[in-house]
Amino acid sequence: MNWAEIGTFLFMPADAMRMVEGAHRRGAGAIILDLEDAIAPSNKDAARARLSASVAVLAGHGLVTVVRVNNDPARLIDDLRAAALPGVHAVILPKVATAAFCHYVDGALAAAERAAGLREGSIGLVAAIEHPAAMRSLDAIAAATPRIVALGFGSEDYASAIGTRATLESMAMPAQAIAIAARGRGLAVLGVPGSVGIIDDAEAFKALARSAAAFGYTGILCIHPRQVALADEALAPSADAVARAGRIVAAFDASLAGGGGAVAVDGLMIDAPVAMQARRVLALAQRTRRGEREPG
């Protein structure tokens, strides 16, 4: 699975069966079943017990399924054991501050996979960066274990930790640093450089999604179904951009086939890096051409 091509990740409480049953109509590239912030402390054990039923529903629709676990010692191991299910593609580990924590969770998840009869290493790990302490160890975290498929940016928790609000101005630096660490290691990077809680201002959320893409983010985290369509709309290349990318790819491939290299297209010289960017535009256009969604 190419985690950098999924696009939109929609959170929903792991025990919200009505939402889970309609998840396939929301248009998201992946569904995140949440055992952490979306669940009241008094309901966390019950939500964990319902996780397998929710995963089965999503698996029945062929959806990419991710589980966000709790990172506190009292719940982490039980959450990992519960998440070791057929149909779970990855686990989000919140509030990662060190590579050592990723190593520990890798081992615990391997044990859970073995106990469940799953292939060891079959469940990926998304390391969520949500505290400034993690910034000193970004590259080590990204390289901690082959199980890591992505870094995530928890902008709201990060903002709380430094005593500010999650705005583009305050979150730009950490958001870019996380993207650089992830992409430098060939990983996907998920999040938005601002508040993920924007649900009533469509233009503001689309602007945030466009900023995320400009920073190198491969996936947008959404906490409400209506954000999925907004993110796809923000990320979708224009018809002119798609047409231009098509001309670039066609001309460059023709040049390579003829033994050449760089080629002029629309008054610009096109070499391998520019052709690669054009291919990404075409892939993004394909990814964002989704089916009809239910109203959010």
Q: Which is it for the CA torsion 44, 80, 2, 62, positive or negative?
A: negative
Residue 296 lies in a domain: no
Q: Is residue 22 part of a domain?
A: yes
Please tell me the predicted confidence (pLDDT) of residue 289: 66
Q: Are residues 112 and 245 in the same domain?
A: no
Same domain, 247 and 121: no
Task: Tell me which residue range forms the domain holding 175.
Answer: 3-235
* Cβ(139)–Cβ(185) below 8 Å: yes
**102 and 146 share a domain?**
yes
pLDDT at 291: 41
pLDDT at 262: 87
Q: Are residues 226 and 276 in the same domain?
A: no
Res 241: pLDDT: 79
Examine residue 294 and state whether it is found in any structural domain, yes or no. no
| Residue 231 and residue 249 in one domain | no
Residue that terminates a domain, selected from 235, 254, 277: 235
Mark the ranges of the chain whose per-residue pLDDT is less than 70: 287-296
> Do 78 and 126 share a structural domain?
yes
Q: What is the pLDDT of residue 287?
A: 67
Pair (58, 160) in one structural domain: yes
Model pLDDT, residue 43? 96
Distance set, CA 96 to CA 41, 78, 131 (Å): 20, 18, 8
Would 58 be classed as within a structural domain?
yes
**150 and 174 in contact (C-beta within 8 Å)?**
no
Quick one: 186 and 276 in the same domain? Answer: no
Predicted local distance difference test score (pLDDT) of residue 76: 97
Is residue 293, in this structure, part of any structural domain at all?
no
> Parallel, antiparallel, or unpaired for β 268-270 and 263-265?
antiparallel
Which of 217, 235, 253 is a domain's end point?
Answer: 235
Domain membership of residue 9 (yes or no) is yes
Look at the chain and report how many structural domains it folds into: 2
Question: Which CATH number fits the domain that encloses residue 35?
Answer: 3.20.20.60
Same domain, 259 and 175: no
pTM of the full predicted structure? 0.86
Asked if 190 and 244 sit in the same domain, the reply is no
Establish if 260 belongs to a structural domain.
yes
Characterize the bridge pairing of strands 188-190 and 64-68.
unpaired
Q: Is 203 exposed, middle or buried (0-12, 13-18, 19+ CB in 10 A)?
A: exposed
Residue 295 lies in a domain: no
Shared domain for 250 and 228, answered yes or no, is no
Domain check: are 33 and 125 in the same one?
A: yes
